[in-house]
A and B are shown apart, each in its own frame.
Chain A
Amino acid sequence: MNTLKLNGQDYKMDVPDEMPLLWAIRDVAGGHPGTKFGCGLGLCGACTIHIDGQPARACITPISSVTGQNVTTIDNLHNDPIGQIVQQAWLDTAVAQCGFCQGGQIMSATALLKTNPNPTDEQIEEAMVGNICRCGTYNRIKIAIRQASTHLKEAKA
């Protein structure tokens, strides 16, 4: 039996220890659809989540490795003040095209801004290079992150 603390809810799951968190969230817990399957090997970032605030790829994280830790997905990010600022910047910049990868992009961007509220363009690239967007929204993602960074500063001031 595995336990999962997901977006503030507790789950007990009779699943193999090695089941990736992605499938535990999507197929077993249910009700948190924002974490997407894109590659299964941690190569595309569509499944990016936060484990105790740290970004991780749900598709290569076994469920047994997160026992007792807080797992947050894009579905619950609006309850995070920094996440909310990032989401708003995404809307203001009209980043999304198909949108499928954007949950993962926003989770990566939020994690970046939490540790580095004022990233340079190089730091943005470094933090985001693991998130693929096949629609090619990278320029707007950068603009949105810069905008969120500015708003963060304003919020603190």
Chain B
Amino acid sequence: MSQLPNDFALSNLSRRGFLKGVGATGALVLAASWGWQDAFAEDKPKKFGADGMPNGWIDDPKVYVSIAADGTVTVVCNRSEMGQGVRTSLSMVVADELDADWALVKVQQAPGDEVRFGNQDTDGSRSMRHWYEPMRRCGAAARTMLEQAAAEQWKVPVGECHANLHKVVHQPSGRELGYGALAAAAGALAVPARDSLRLKQPSEFRYIGKEGVRAIDGADIVNGRAVYGADVHFDGILYATIARPAVYGGKVKSFDDSAALKVPGVIKVLQIESRPLPSEFQPLGGVAVVASNTWAAIKGREALNIEWDDGPNASYDSIAYRKELEAASLKPGKVVRNTGDIDKALASAGSTLEASYYLPHLAQSPMEPMVAIARYQDGVCEAWAPSQAPQVTRERISERLGLPFDNVTFNVTLLGGGFGRKSKPDFVVEAAILAKEFPGKAVRVQWTREDDIHCSYFHTVSAEYLKASLDKDGMPSGWLHRTVAPSITALFAPGMNHEAAFELGMGFTNMAYAIPNVRLENPEATVHTRVGWYRSVSNIPHGFAIQTFVDELAHKAKQDPLKYQIKLLGPDRQIDPRTLSEEWNYGESPERYPIDTARMRTVLETAAKAAGWGRKLPKGRGLGLAVHYSFVTYVAAVIEVEVKDDGTLIVHKADIAVDCGPQINPERIRSQFEGACVMGLGNAVLGEISFKDGKVQQDNFHMYEVARMSLAPKEVAVHLVTPPGEVPLGGVGEPGVPPIAPALCNAIFAATGQRIRSLPVRYQLQGWQKAGA
């Protein structure tokens, strides 16, 4: 095992900090202890799915479900809500097995406490696939306890008592008792054994897989009552902004705060230490201005006079770096998959095709900029923030403040978007550091949009090189692909110059086309900024390069891209991901989650059929398609684009076919793929973060542009494909992004004959007619 081969190992690292705090929490630890003990036992077989996550899963109804005397059912949601609908969907699962009335179901957000609640890292499109089964068992166990309580009260056999929409009915006598009336007695019973539970048959489902289930937070959102990070308020709260180093690894040399302290409302200016690189999840440091309101903190920060030591990344320059990456992509690199003999295939081929692709950094920029509130007194710290990683946040606060883990409480608010940015707790640690300076007072750290864009954990930047040897039918006999991109693992250790298995496994090493000779390489890339997870992560560059290249191959072979894709997939088969590469497979079991080319083909055919693939279009219009497997879900997109004479793009329609296995909340699944389509279009057409002199060149949404309504498809249709047979759940939040950019650019090619190999598209289409004339 190399130092940081995948996110499983990273999880283990974070667990070490957590272990220090475990001793004091008592009996609950015993119930949950198997998870981390097994994970540490190196001779045990690797665990998959929820079993493989730090602190695993919990299916104890006494942790997750409570019923009040008035019948109100409260479900605890251990995952962070960031728009994916998890508070609704997990509660639907519990309510269904509990046979509860949805109108009487409420949700309570769990604080960060993985010993009690199991893994809470809300990332990797994992919530439903890891928590569907434990939550079903929670609901079923609670339902069983209610039935037992009723049977005891009526002194009848439990087999004669059946839960039915918020009441238990004794069928022979017709007696019934509501859940509220039974709650206290049921709560005193022992939780039934896991293997004794009767789960519902799908035909019995009330909510699972059904349309029209009311979203839990909908009414609060449309009335402005939903509580996001900055809506947490305390009397006497202090407001802070922080001037952070603009260059990764920069430090404050000296600063003059005399003007800042004169700004009305400014209370105090203080320095936050910058730690040595790599930064991991710790704050960048800088100078904080604490004030009586946010505006004063912003004006105070503007009045600071800071001299910076920019440090080792002061020459990071995106134009020069692109050349470095592209040069590296043309030379051999670390081989990560090798089947057949690519050199021989290339040497003996009648013809070959090669192409290079480039994708820049992106910033997640959720609509809610980073914000956190913390309060400290007598060695105890409590914090509130929109976080995707509550346990990690608690660990980092504990570590930075030197407090025992149990002395830190962390509360999760609603997230105004996350997209991976809020997996990193740097901004919450900032609030904790400042709170320690003002004992007893709540301190809010508010990031501005400029802070967000300058100090993101950026999506990587990459150069992709592909070369294929072609047989007489224009099909590839050989496939050489090099990906060069700074790795997320460079956040955690020095000298991490190769992508990790979890990055390569995102659409690169697990490329599933039927090609006899394949060599995949990953040349080195040095990191010069904070690189982090961005919705769908490395699938973005890998998916773009491969799906554009396949379109290029189809056109070279003068074949229809859909037919070419299907031919390239080869015969329907289930591929063991271990035969393709290092087994990462999104942390899932290779037996439960083989790569199924029939499912890939089906989504392609579904999207193409819905889009009317092959129909004739007016001049300047084109259809493009792409298919991509990520987060153990299969997605194909067909996009119809119009390119105006001035190069303006109009996306007329997007047809997206999705096979994510069983669908729990189909309405939310569709909305996730609609949104991913819009985000994918923004990434492709507009998205670019660039560096000069080590600093981000974009400041706000006028420079770092994201998709607005004008770029959204005039119509978007998400087609949910039900796979044949029984398959486990796939991811939903992320897999919609990767196929969008290549489908768009393939459509642009169909419309204009112009091939886009470098993103963003932006002004590349100006004058396209002239060029094509």
Contacts and interface: CB of A to CB of B under 8 A. Distances in A.
Contacts of B298: 40
Interface string A87-112: 10011001011111111001000000
B335 interface: no
A135 B223 contact: no
Interface stretch (B34-42, B345-353, B409-417): B409-417
Interface string B654-676: 00000000000001000110111
Interface string A38-82: 111101101000000000000000000000000001110110000
Interface stretch (B326-334, B361-369, B542-550, B568-576): B361-369
Nearest to A139: B716
Given A38-B449, A39-B449, A99-B217, A33 B294 contact: no
Given A44-B367, A125-B709, A132-B708, A91 B416 contact: no
A15 B369 CA distance: 24
- Output the residue of A15, A94, A106 with the most chain B CB within 10 A: A94
B449 A98 contact: no
B224 A75 contact: yes
B701 A43 contact: yes
Contact of A94 (B227, B417, B667, B677): B667
A5 interface: no
B491 interface: no
A27 interface: yes
B157 interface: no
A46 B365 CA distance: 13
Contact of A23 (B293, B677, B682): B293
A19 interface: yes
A22 to B, nearest CB: 8
Given A20-B295, A99-B226, A134 B419 contact: yes
B102 to A, nearest CB: 15
B314 interface: no
B367 A46 contact: yes
Nearest to B671: A97
Contacts of B708: 129-132, 138
B223 A75 contact: yes
B715 interface: yes
Interface string B700-736: 1110001111101111100000000000000000000
A15 B449 CA distance: 23
B702 to A, nearest CB: 6
B239 interface: yes
A36 interface: yes
B658 to A, nearest CB: 15
B679 interface: yes
A138 B712 contact: yes
Nearest to B229: A100
Nearest to B214: A91
A130 to B, nearest CB: 8
B770 interface: no
Given A27-B239, A35-B224, A87-B223, A133 B367 contact: yes
Interface in B389-428: 414-419
B767 interface: no
A72 to B, nearest CB: 11
A91 B219 contact: yes
Contacts of B224: 32-35, 73-75, 77, 103
Contacts of A99: 83, 217, 221, 226, 414, 416
- Output the residue of A91, A133, A136 with the most chain B CB within 10 A: A136
Given A27-B239, A36-B228, A94-B218, A139 B366 contact: no
Contacts of A97: 83-85, 671-672, 675
A96 B226 CA distance: 12
A64 to B, nearest CB: 13
A129 B707 CA distance: 10
A136 B674 contact: yes
B490 interface: no
Contacts of B592: none
B678 interface: yes
Given A43-B700, A43-B701, A98 B82 contact: yes
A134 B364 CA distance: 9
Given A38-B367, A91-B219, A135-B83, A100 B706 contact: no
Given A23-B294, A37-B446, A39-B701, A100 B416 contact: yes
A97 B724 CA distance: 30
A27 B237 CA distance: 9
B700 A16 contact: no
B233 interface: yes
- Output the residue of A28, A121, A130, A135 with the most chain B CB within 10 A: A135
B671 A37 contact: no
A113 interface: no
A36 B294 CA distance: 13
B181 to A, nearest CB: 32
B222 A96 contact: yes
B672 to A, nearest CB: 8
A135 B226 CA distance: 17
B230 interface: yes
B710 A26 contact: no
A53 B706 CA distance: 29
A4 interface: no
Contacts of A137: 671, 674-675, 678
A142 interface: yes
A140 interface: yes
B294 A100 contact: no
A105 B215 CA distance: 18
Contact of A136 (B233, B365, B449, B712): B712
Contacts of A20: 295
A134 B365 contact: yes
Given A94-B215, A137-B671, A139-B712, A34 B416 contact: no
B664 to A, nearest CB: 15
Nearest to B450: A40
Contact of B228 (A39, A91, A100, A139): A100
A100 B441 CA distance: 27
A40 B448 contact: yes
Contact of A134 (B85, B367, B671, B713): B367
Nearest to A35: B224
Nearest to A106: B222
B264 interface: yes
Contacts of B615: none
Given A98-B82, A103-B222, 4 more contacts: A19-B295, A37-B446, A39-B449, A136-B707
In the A-B complex, the 3 residue pairs with the smallest Cβ-Cβ separation, listed nearest first, are A34-B224, A136-B678, A100-B416
11 contacts: A19-B295, A23-B293, A27-B294, A33-B230, A75-B224, A77-B224, A99-B414, A103-B224, A128-B709, A129-B708, A129-B709
Interface of B: 81-85, 215, 217-219, 221-228, 230-231, 233, 239, 264, 293-295, 298, 365-369, 414-419, 446, 448-450, 667, 671-672, 674-679, 682, 700-702, 706-710, 712-716
